[in-house]
């Protein structure tokens, strides 16, 4: 009885690799079956473990280092510290962690949405950047607008810019078959150099006051374009209501994918483009549309960051931007689901802030810890990518569980026979 | 009858694509007339030529050769625009930009790209996509300078760089080949890992400061005397040893890949691994070997960057050169000479971008995006059709 049903519970890894059109999404379908939340947690634990071993090998205390990172991310605020100084610092750190989580949710959603359509959008960083440039331009330019309209215009422009930027990759894939991984990588670098161009000395977006000082930084966005802050001081990077906007996008992501025709088509193309085409779904249109929506999420992240707390941007910021790349790890760890992306974004947001800014004690050098984040990020992506390994682990667990009842049954039949 | 129809259609297509190609050439000419040695000083010529190029393109598009036609239109706009930019500067400035040493600096910038592109080519020809070139190059860059610093010899530095690149490539190969993980995801992971590892150890070993000066450096090959300032001397007179090695590796890779049994095996694994397995080729072994070789080559490119050229290291020193190498490989259609040509083109555009500030710093920065735009155009299939190996990116399962 169990044998004919077995493929439904998860194909053995061998069959998976043999299926000729192995799109990313069809692999993903296997992951989803391979085991809910256990595997991502295992992946993250393994990555932290290896990172900890490296910390140990280079002569630091890994437990203390991780504890510092947890405190640096402000997670101790959740435990309601009694000391008011500690509580204030923790509260500030926690708000900063959420501030980092906000764009990570959106760039994670960007990668996840494209994944669901069978595409790998590595261009989150470029889309984030063009969104940011547009929001900066809108925020500086239309100074006579009132607050909600100005903010909405800036955010919409950012989303549109991201959508167009990713749409180029989708369009090229749909019309010429150019692989989206290559085109999005190239578009990342084009966005990178555009950023270096517009903010540099004499660039079109360089701030008027910065020009005589030879500082390659843009002007500040107008007060009317700034997203209201609800937790903390706006001058000290308080948490802005863009955070709720990101949460809303998580819901929107789930709604689009599971409750609309558009989402159904996107998922159908992702599972098997040939079958989708046979079923009358316009595959090419879906490629462009899915990429555009994906890019809109990433562009939105840039816009919200710019109008929420950055207010200005410079060439060095462009060169250091990596939020879009972190989105890949967020989406993969979150298994491209709305809830998963939210949780993974929180994890990486905490890591990002906890290692770079919040780190207090001298156990581990903050810049060292910052690179630890990059390594953990790499390890997470590496392990998540190895779905066959995960499937093998998961299936062996299932086999053990399945074997036990059959053994009992055999005993029972043996007893019955005797 | 059917052959007749076939030839008729083919000749019509051939005509319209020829029209498009002529349009592209005119677009390029539109740009060339504005720079030395022609140095046209009137806006009329480039604009006119640009418009003619676009017209050719439109004709080609309307007659069915879409890709080439759009390419001609793009070439017309780009050529006319660049010429208009060049027009705004004085002739003496332009002469300063287009000098003989431009060739030398083109080779300097093209060398890491050549190493990376050749490495990527071996990996992808065997059927393993290598997005991780950037990471492998970065590993070579850091461990190369570390090795040269600790051992006091650049030879050991390069060897240690090669080892580090091979190790990172081994990780990629293990996940891609044995675990059959998605190769693009694996490559992205390798890039993150390299960024983390090199950054971590740079802080750990050098406290994030600059590597001490006076680290043993890869020597230059002196073909002419120091004082000679002929065209040849300025271009090729004292190039770094690694540049010559890179140039040497191009025909070598060609011979290995296309004229030896090993190359045949590599290509067989990339085109049809099942068939290769059937005739007794160990697909796993060949793929492991190719990916590790790609890591070694990419790391050599990185080592040249730090031990040969900069003589120091800073975080993420490769700054996307691995991705340009990847682009060069695609642009060159997965072939050694094609990849080298693309690397030279990209190196030239970088070298030019470094000199353009003489008259326009703004345009110079934008110019650095040119390799990526060109690659976008190339993968879209305007300049010929890029054809990856058939089994590129497909994991193979032994039966």
The answer to whether the CB atoms of B193 and A375 lie below 8 A apart is: yes
pLDDT surpassing 90 at residue B82 = no
- State whether B348 and B373 are in the same domain: yes
Q: Is B11 on the interface with A (CB under 8 A)?
A: no
* Domain containing residue B108: CATH number: 1.10.3470
pLDDT band at B367 (very low <50, low <70, confident <90, very high): confident
Per the domain annotation, does B389 fall within a domain? Answer: no
Given CB atoms, is B116 within the 8 Å cutoff of chain A? no
Name the residue with higher pLDDT: A129 or B2.
A129
Q: Are residues B153 and B15 in the same domain?
A: no
Q: Which of B199, B366, B373 sits opposite A371 (nearest CB)?
A: B199
For residue A187, what are the CA distances in angstroms to A230, B326, B395?
35, 14, 27
> Is B126 a member of any domain?
yes
Residues of B in contact with A126 (CB under 8 A): none
Of the pLDDT bands very low, low, confident and very high (cuts 50, 70, 90), residue A168 is: very high
Q: Looking at the complex, does the CB of residue B200 fall below 8 Å from at least one CB of chain A?
A: yes
Note the pLDDT tens digit of each residue in B288-329. 999 999 999 999 999 999 888 888 888 888 888 898 898 888
Residues above pLDDT 90, as percent of chain A: 30
* Predicted local distance difference test score (pLDDT) of residue B10: 43
Q: Hey, where are the domains in chain A?
A: 19-400
Q: Which two tokens stand for residue B77?
A: 């706009």
Residue B238 has what DSSP assignment?
Answer: E
Segment 242-301 of chain B within 8 Å of chain A by CB:
none
Cβ of B369 under 8 Å from any chain A Cβ? yes
Q: Is the ipTM of this complex over 0.90?
A: no
Q: How far is B278 from chain A (nearest CA, A)?
A: 16
Do B39 and B143 lie in one domain? The reply is no
- Token look-up 């004690």 returns A361
Average pLDDT, chain B: 80
Distance CA B164, CA A172 (A): 36
Residue B246 lies in a domain: yes
Produce one character per residue of B80-107: b if its CB has 16 or more CB atoms within 10 Å, e if not. Answer: bbbbbbbbebeeebbeebeeebbbbbbb
Mean pLDDT taken over chain A = 81
Same domain? For B83 and B108 the reply is no
CB contact under 8 A, A193 and B196: no
- Inform me whether the C-beta atom of residue A280 falls under 8 Å from chain B C-beta atoms: no
Residue of A181, A374, A375 with shortest CB distance to B131 = A181
CATH topology of domain A19-400: ABC transporter involved in vitamin B12 uptake, BtuC (1.10.3470)
**Residues 46-85 in B contacting A (C-alpha not used; CB under 8 Å):** 67
pLDDT tens per residue, range B166-193: 999 999 999 888 888 888 888 989 998 9
Residue B100, C-beta contacts closer than 8 angstroms, at least 6 positions apart: B231, B234, B235
Confidence at residue A109, expressed as pLDDT on a 0 to 100 scale: 95
Partner A, chain B 119-148, Cβ-Cβ below 8 Å: 131
- Say whether both B199 and B337 belong to one domain: yes
The lowest-confidence range among B90-94, B187-191, B339-343 is: B90-94
The domain tally of chain B equals 2
The alpha-carbon gap from B301 to the nearest alpha carbon of chain A, in Å, equals 20
Q: What is the pLDDT of residues A283-303, one digit of tens each?
A: 999 999 999 999 999 999 999
B328 lies in some domain: yes
**How buried is residue A266: exposed, middle or buried, by Cβ count under 10 Å (0-12/13-18/19+)?**
buried
* Cα A73 from Cα A94, distance rounded (Å): 6
pLDDT band, residue B65 (cuts 50/70/90): low
pLDDT grade, residue A5 (50/70/90)? very low
Mutate to test the interface with A, among B70, B172, B192, B366 (most CBs of A within 10 A): B192
Q: Which of B209, B365, B367, B383 to mutate to test the interface with A (most CBs of A within 10 A)?
A: B365
Q: CA-CA distance, A78 to A71, in Å (whole number)?
A: 10
Question: Which is more confidently placed, A83 or B92?
Answer: A83
Provide DSSP, A118-186. T---TTHHHHHHHHHHHHHHHHHH-TTS-HHHHHHHHHHHHHHHHHHHHHHHHHHHHHH---HHHHHHH
Choose the final residue of a domain: B57, B88, B119: B88
Q: From the CA of B260, how many Å to the nearest CA of chain A?
A: 30
* Residue where one domain finishes, among candidates B64, B88, B112: B88
Q: Specify whether B106 is located in the same domain as B54.
A: no
For B203-239, how does the pLDDT look when each residue is reduced to its tens digit (9 = 90+)? 888 876 767 777 778 888 777 776 666 667 777 777 8
Taking an 8 Å cut-off on Cβ atoms, the answer to whether A185 and B131 are in contact is yes
Over 50: is that where the pLDDT of A162 sits?
yes
Q: How far apart are CA B338 and CA B330, in angstroms?
A: 9
Q: What is the pLDDT of residues A214-273, one digit of tens each?
A: 888 888 888 888 888 888 777 778 888 889 999 999 999 999 998 999 999 999 998 888
**Residue B40's pLDDT band (cuts 50, 70, 90):** low
pLDDT (0 to 100) of residue B297: 95
* B197 to chain A, closest Cα gap in Å: 6
Question: What is the reported pLDDT for B4?
Answer: 40
pLDDT of residue A11: 40
Q: Does A377 touch chain B (CB under 8 A)?
A: yes
Of B175, B196, B380, which is closest to A375 when you measure between CB atoms? B196
Residue B130 and residue B68 share a domain: no
**Whole-number pLDDT of residue A133:** 95
Given a cut of 70, whether residue B98 has pLDDT beyond it is: no
The number of C-alpha atoms within 13 Å of A399 and in the hemisphere containing its C-beta is: 8
Q: Which domain holds residue B30?
A: 2-88
- Residue B76 C-alpha, separation from nearest chain A C-alpha, in angstroms: 20
Q: Is B295 part of any domain?
A: yes
């Amino acid at each position: 009885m169990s044998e004919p049903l077995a493929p439904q519970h998860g194909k053995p890894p061998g069959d998976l690799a043999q299926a000729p059109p192995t799109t990313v999404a069809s692999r993903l379908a296997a992951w989803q079956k391979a085991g809910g939340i256990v595997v991502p947690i295992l992946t993250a634990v393994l990555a932290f473990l290896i990172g900890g071993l490296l910390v140990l090998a280079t002569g630091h205390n890994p437990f203390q280092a991780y504890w510092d990172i947890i405190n640096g991310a402000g997670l101790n605020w959740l435990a309601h510290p009694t000391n008011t100084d500690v509580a204030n610092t923790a509260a500030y750190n926690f708000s900063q962690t959420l501030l980092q989580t906000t764009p990570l949710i959106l760039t994670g959603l960007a990668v996840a949405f494209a994944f669901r359509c069978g595409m790998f959008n590595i261009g989150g960083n470029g889309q984030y950047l063009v969104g940011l440039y547009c929001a900066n331009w809108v925020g500086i330019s239309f100074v006579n607008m009132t607050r909600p309209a100005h903010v909405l215009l800036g955010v919409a422009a950012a989303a549109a810019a991201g959508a167009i930027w990713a749409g180029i990759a989708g369009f090229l894939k749909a019309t010429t078959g150019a692989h989206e991984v290559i085109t999005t990588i190239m578009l990342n670098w084009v966005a990178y150099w555009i950023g270096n161009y517009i903010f540099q000395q004499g660039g079109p977006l360089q701030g008027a006051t910065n020009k005589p000082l030879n500082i390659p930084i843009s002007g500040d966005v107008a007060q009317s374009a700034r997203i209201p802050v609800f937790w903390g001081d706006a001058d000290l990077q308080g948490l802005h209501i863009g955070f709720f906007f990101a949460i809303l996008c998580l819901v929107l992501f789930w709604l689009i994918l599971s409750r609309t025709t558009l989402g159904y088509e996107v998922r159908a193309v992702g599972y098997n483009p040939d079958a989708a085409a046979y079923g009358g779904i316009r595959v090419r249109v879906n490629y462009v549309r899915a990429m555009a929506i994906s890019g809109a999420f990433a562009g939105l992240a840039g816009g919200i960051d710019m109008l929420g707390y950055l207010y200005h941007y410079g060439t060095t910021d462009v060169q250091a931007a990596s939020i879009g790349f972190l989105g890949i790890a967020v989406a993969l760890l979150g298994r491209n689901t709305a809830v998963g992306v939210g949780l993974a974004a929180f994890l990486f947001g905490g890591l990002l802030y906890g290692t770079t800014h919040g780190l207090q004690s001298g156990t581990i050098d903050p810049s060292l810890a910052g690179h630890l984040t990059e390594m953990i990020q790499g390890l997470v992506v590496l392990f998540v990518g190895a779905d066959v390994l995960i499937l093998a682990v998961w299936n062996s667990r299932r086999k053990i569980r399945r074997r036990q009842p059959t053994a009992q049954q055999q005993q029972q039949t043996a007893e019955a026979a005797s | 009858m059917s052959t007749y129809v076939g030839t008729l259609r083919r000749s019509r297509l051939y005509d319209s694509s020829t029209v498009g190609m002529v349009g592209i050439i005119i677009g390029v000419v539109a740009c060339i007339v504005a720079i030395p040695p022609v140095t046209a000083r009137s806006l009329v010529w480039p604009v006119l030529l640009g418009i003619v190029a676009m017209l050719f393109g439109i004709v080609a598009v309307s007659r069915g050769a879409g890709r080439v036609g759009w390419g001609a239109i793009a070439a017309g706009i780009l050529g006319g625009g660049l010429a208009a930019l060049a027009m705004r500067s004085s002739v003496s400035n332009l002469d300063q930009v287009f000098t003989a040493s431009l060739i030398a600096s083109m080779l300097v910038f093209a060398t890491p790209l050549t190493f990376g592109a050749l490495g990527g080519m071996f990996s992808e020809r065997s059927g393993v996509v290598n997005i991780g070139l950037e990471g492998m190059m970065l590993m070579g860059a850091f461990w190369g300078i570390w090795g040269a610093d600790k051992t006091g010899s650049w030879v050991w530095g390069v060897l240690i760089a090669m080892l580090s690149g091979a190790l990172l490539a081994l990780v990629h190969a293990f996940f891609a080949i044995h675990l059959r993980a998605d190769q693009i995801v694996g490559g992205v992971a390798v890039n993150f890992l390299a960024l983390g590892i090199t950054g971590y150890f740079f802080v750990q070993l050098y406290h994030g400061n600059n590597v001490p000066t006076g680290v043993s450096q890869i020597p230059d090959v002196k073909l002419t005397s120091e004082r000679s300032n002929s065209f040849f001397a300025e271009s090729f007179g004292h190039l770094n040893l690694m540049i010559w090695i890179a140039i040497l590796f191009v025909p070598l890779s060609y011979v290995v890949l296309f004229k030896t049994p090993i190359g045949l095996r590599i290509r067989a694994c990339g085109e049809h691994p099942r068939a290769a397995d059937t005739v007794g080729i160990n697909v796993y072994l060949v793929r492991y070997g190719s990916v590790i070789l790609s890591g070694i080559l990419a790391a050599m490119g990185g080592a040249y960057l730090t031990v040969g050229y900069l003589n120091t290291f800073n975080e993420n020193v490769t700054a996307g050169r691995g991705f340009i190498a990847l682009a060069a490989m695609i642009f060159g259609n997965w072939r050694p000479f094609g990849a080298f040509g693309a690397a030279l083109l990209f190196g030239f555009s970088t070298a030019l971008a470094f000199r353009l500030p003489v008259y326009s710093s703004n345009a110079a920065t934008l110019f650095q995006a040119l390799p990526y735009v060109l690659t976008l155009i190339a993968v879209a299939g305007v300049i010929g059709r890029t054809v990856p190996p058939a089994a590129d990116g497909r994991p193979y399962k032994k039966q």
